[in-house]
Amino acid sequence: RNDEYSQFNPINILQKKRRVIIKVQENYDFHVNGRVLEVGHDEIEKSYPTEESDKEWKKKTIEEMDKAAQAHLVVAALITTVTFAAGITMPGGFIGGDDHPHPGSAVLRNSVAFKAFIITNALSLMLSGSAIFMHLINSLLPSDDFFQKRISFLDMAFQFLLSSMVPMVLAFVTGTYA
């Protein structure tokens, strides 16, 4: 019997999973490289998750989410730190002395590139700070009761994190250009 295709046999694939198996009373034809493989009604099995396997899957998913959240949180904290430091130090420096009409203001305050730097740096700081805030909210939610909410919070935090990277790069480019 088609030993060369045994690794693609639905029975071999489905038996690798730990699930309750229910027989299907239908015949199926599989087409592989122009050849028809007939599989009888006794050989096709469908699997449905049990409550126990569903709990195991949720537990494994929560562990993976927590690992991803830790990595995201480190990156978000680094972006927040870098953008905050860049906003404090200002490219070009500050005007010193009391004899100038605007002491303490940025030297490049009239430059268009400097204004673009301020906007992109502030946007990156806001988005990365929002990602950190979402991670903090996510850690306060109980894992079992709010499983879907935790997934959506983690996804939203990741979107904020990705969105903060583009303005950070633009802030670097415009700050260097100014």
DSSP assignments along 130-165, one per residue = HHHHHHHHHHHS-TTTTHHHHHHHHHHHHHHHHHHH
pLDDT band at 86 (very low <50, low <70, confident <90, very high): very high
Mean pLDDT for 20-47 is 49
Structure letter (DSSP) for residue 43: T
Q: Look at residue 34 in the predicted model and tell me its pLDDT.
A: 55
How far is it, in rounded angstroms, from Cα 177 to Cα 86? 14
How far is it, in rounded angstroms, from Cα 35 to Cα 4? 12
Structure tokens at 3: 């030993």
Q: Could you tell me if 80 and 144 are in contact, meaning their C-beta atoms sit under 8 angstroms apart?
A: no
How far is it, in rounded angstroms, from Cα 154 to Cα 156? 5
How far is it, in rounded angstroms, from Cα 20 to Cα 54? 12
Q: Look at residue 58 in the predicted model and tell me its pLDDT.
A: 82
Task: Give which of 67, 65, 81 is closest to 149, Cα–Cα.
Answer: 65
Q: What is the pLDDT of residues 144-173, one digit of tens each?
A: 678 888 888 899 999 999 999 999 999 999
Q: What is the pLDDT of residues 109-142, one digit of tens each?
A: 889 999 999 999 999 999 999 999 999 988 888 8
How far is it, in rounded angstroms, from Cα 11 to Cα 46? 9
